[in-house]
Amino acid sequence: MSFFTKTSERVSSNTDEAVNQRIELETRLRIQMAAENGPQAIDQRLAVLDREWDIERCLETGASSLSLFGIALGSAVNKKWFILPAAVTGFLLQHAIQGWCPPLAVLRRLGVRTADEINRERYALKALRGDFRGVDSTTTGDSVSRAFSNVHH
């Protein structure tokens, strides 16, 4: 693995392969269940996806919360607490560069997905719902406009 991992691969490449496979299987099962239950189920699942937190949001929230907690304790209780925000920001930097940090394995095992994983489910559901039927690949300018319009509905 290189020091600078591709953005799209940095979390999955630092996740146990069995966990990646379980997340993918669960995603496929949710897509299949929504498809079998019809358009209303697809709409409901898309609404749930709009509220789902991805791994980056979870890590950012946890890191900023721990940093603020460490700063407060360092200011009010003991300066030794300042090591907490220093460690947390170091791990956050490592995650930004390589895609790994201590809570990653735990969050992934809990099923927290990347934005790409969430979006793959979203686009599969939208394709099943028929959102992309108006996209014609023959004229690039028109097809890009229609695809962009369909994605933002």
Counting Cα atoms < 13 Å in the Cβ hemisphere of 73 gives 12
Q: Which tens digit of pLDDT belongs to each residue from 73-97?
A: 999 999 999 999 999 999 999 999 9
114 — pLDDT class (breaks 50, 70, 90): very high
* Cα(19)–Cα(91) distance, integer angstroms: 22
Which residues lie below 8 Å from residue 61, measured CB to CB, with a gap of 6+?
53
First to last CA, the chain: 38
Predicted TM-score (pTM) of the model is 0.84
C-beta atoms surrounding 115 within 10 Å? 16
Residue that the structure tokens 């686009």 belong to: 123
For the segment 31-67, what is each residue's pLDDT rounded down to a tens digit? 999 999 999 999 999 999 999 999 999 999 999 999 9
| Residue found under tokens 């209303």 | 40
- Of residues 90, 122, 105, 16, the one with CA closest to residue 55: 105
- CA 94/CA 108 separation, integer angstroms: 17
Q: Where are the alpha helices (DSSP H) in the chain?
A: 17-37, 39-51, 55-76, 83-98, 102-109, 115-129, 140-151
Tens of pLDDT, residue by residue over 6-31, are 788 899 999 999 999 999 999 999 99
Check residue 145 and give its pLDDT: 58
